[in-house]
Structures are given as C-alpha cells and as structure tokens.
Amino acid sequence: MTILVTGGAGFIGSNFVLDWLAGSDEAVVNLDALTYAGNVHNLDSLRDNPRHIFVHGDIGDAALVGRLLAEHQPRAVLHFAAESHVDRSIHGPGAFVQTNIVGTFQLLEAIRTYWGALEPEAKAAFRLLHVSTDEVFGSLAKDAPAFTETHPYEPNSPYSASKAASDHLVRAYHHTYGLPVLTTNCSNNYGPLHFPEKLIPLMIVNAQAGKPLPVYGDGQQIRDWLYVKDHCSAIRCVLAHGRLGETYNVGGWNEMPNLDIVHTVCDLLDELKPRADGSSYRAQIAFVTDRPGHDRRYAIDANKIHRELGWRPAETFASGIRKTVQWYLDNPQWVAQVQSGAYRDWVAKQYAAG
C-alpha cells in the first residue's frame, strides 16, 4: 500500500513522513515544490529508504499529479502543501492565492479523476485528508469560547483567507462529487524542523546569535500551541477512523500569550546553554511594531476528536518546548543550511524595530 503526501518536505509534512515511515510498512510518495520553507534536508535520514519516493514538483501541475496517482495508486492523499506564513502573505498575497486556492483546486481535480476510475473496493477505501488551520476562524475575544468545528469562518489575513477558500473547495468536492474527504484544523505547531521565521524557532536561533528577539506589539497575542509530533498522531488517527466529510479541530490545550512563550524559551536557554556574560536571554527581547490585522487570540476546542476518535496530545507544553529547544541546540547545521541570504533579508525587512 502507498500514500501520497503533498508538502512533505515542509515543517509539518516532513515530521509526518518521518513518523509514518518509522511506524508503518507503507510507502510514501512525497510531492514538494521545495519553496523557501520546503527543505529536502529534513528528509536526509530517508535517503536510502526505498519506501520514500521523493518527487520535486507542484500540486498545481495537474499532469504531474495525475501521473503520480496513476503510477503509484495511493490509497490516500494527505494534503499538507501550502504557503503558511501570515507575514509573508501580507507582503505577497499572490503566492498564497496561487498555491493554497488554485493549487488545491488542481489537486482536487486530479484526485477526482483518479478516484472516479478506481475499482469499487479501492474507491470505497480511498481518503483525501486536507490539513488546515485554526486561523480560518478569525480572532477571539479574551473570554470567548474556543473555536469549535462549527464556528463561522472569519479569516483576517490573505493567508487565512486562502486557507479558508481551500477548505471550502474540499468541502464542495465532497458534497458535489462525493469525494471521500477529511479536514483537520490545527492550532499553532512547534517542534523540530520548523523554519526559523516562526516565533519559537526564530527566538531560539536569534538568541544563540546574540540578536534581538522581536516581539510584536505588547506580546499579549494568545495562541494554542501543539507539538508537531502530536499533530502527526492526530492526522494518522483521523485518516484511520475519521467520518467522511467531517472536520476535526486539533489543538494542544496550551493557550499562552506570545510573550510568555518567549520568556519560556529564554529561561530554557539560560538553563541549557547560558550566555557567556551570565545574563538572561530575556535581555535580548525587543518589542517591534505590531503587524497589520494581527489576530488577538486563537483557541481550539479539540473535544470532538477526543470524543469521537479518542485522541489527546501526549506532550504538555513544558515537555514539548524543552524537546524543541534541545533539538535546535543539537542541530546547528540544519539551522545554518536554511538560513540563506534570502531568508536573512526577509527577517531584516519584516522585524525592523518600530
């Protein structure tokens, strides 16, 4: 048996592929366009693994996707591929529309053609699992109930709007064509192999380099934090047991303000790799101008996936963040590889002190 993974060289996708091949005897066809956030080095440990078939290509290439489906006959497609950074979507929304909306449409069309021609038994067993985000739901007031699966979509950035559109397309293909789909909406992921433009890896990398630790506004934006390995286990659970056409929220039950996250990272670094001068990494925190339309709070109600499928995260934030910080300390070569000149230019532009 085989599965097809899109975006399997990205942060969540590569963690999923690594976990899947470690725990299953099924092969993975891994399709990734290797944009700035797709890093083939994430998959170095699979270089000699015959069950990992890497294909450099775009989900928007209908002919390529159709050819891969016909050749490998996957029993499932797991759709991770996306442009996913809010800040980048503000500066360049076109790429988000092209990948997240048009690319998802092209993928759906190719899958619909493939699925429609399958023999009855394979057709009944086939699944498309679409990986999405809690950001499609918009922003919550401080005391408002957490997002459930039935919360109205109110995206506030080009990124979240493009992901909302992709969710709607997936839903429409289920209801119109009968395509057997599952959708997950996750909270903020963190963990190994995370591209260092997102909050947690940026803080770890900048702290080690003696650079400022940029915090937007007052740092009181609240997010729910989900360890990436827990997210991967939730996806496996939904793929195996989820009800067709259903959406499942995946959260870590860890609501925390961004500033508290930064303080936690600093304190762990103080313990695990102290500064030479003996002072705390907290001294490097620098508040910068808040980004446009910055959502104040996200919170995921993940009771449905627990109630229906029995899934809960294995990691607490304390255990997950310690593992994450230690991974970055143990893997400086990976960090150096992803920090190209283009990445440094981006960070300098985005986090200019306000």
Please list the active-site residues: 134-135, 159
| Per-residue pLDDT at 341 | 58
Say if residues 140 and 296 touch (Cβ distance below 8 Å). yes
| Per-residue pLDDT at 345 | 67
| C-alpha span between 66 and 114 (Å, rounded) | 7
Class of domain 2-193+225-255+293-316: alpha beta
| C-alpha span between 90 and 129 (Å, rounded) | 27
Map the chain to HEC letters: CEEEEECCCCHHHHHHHHHHHHHCCCEEEEEECCCCCCCHHHHHHHCCCCCEEEEECCCCCHHHHHHHHHHHCCCEEEECCCCCCHHHHHHCHHHHHHHHHHHHHHHHHHHHHHHHCCCHHHHHHCEEEEEEEHHHHCCCCCCCCCECCCCCCCCCCHHHHHHHHHHHHHHHHHHHHCCCEEEEEECEEECCCCCCCCHHHHHHHHHHCCCCEEEECCCCCEEEEEEHHHHHHHHHHHHHHCCCCCEEEECCCCEEEHHHHHHHHHHHHHHHCCCCCCCCHHHHEEEECCCCCCCCECCECCHHHHHHHCCCCCCCHHHHHHHHHHHHHHCHHHHHHHCCHHHHHHHHHHCCCC
Listed in sequence order, the residues at least 6 apart from 332 whose beta carbon sits closer than 8 Å to its beta carbon are: none
pTM of the model: 0.93
One-letter amino acid at 32 equals D
| Per-residue pLDDT at 350 | 65
Q: Where are the domains of the chain?
A: 2-193+225-255+293-316
Query: From first to last of its 354 residues, what are the pLDDT tens digits of the chain?
Result: 999 999 999 999 999 999 999 999 999 999 999 887 788 889 999 999 999 999 999 999 999 999 999 999 999 999 999 987 777 888 899 999 999 999 999 999 999 999 999 999 999 999 999 999 999 999 999 899 999 999 999 999 999 999 999 999 999 999 999 999 999 999 999 999 998 888 999 999 999 999 999 999 999 999 999 999 999 999 999 999 999 999 999 999 999 999 999 999 999 999 999 999 999 999 999 999 998 888 899 999 999 999 999 999 999 999 999 999 999 999 998 998 887 756 556 556 765 654
| C-alpha span between 90 and 316 (Å, rounded) | 32
| C-alpha span between 305 and 337 (Å, rounded) | 37
- DSSP assignment, residue 291? P
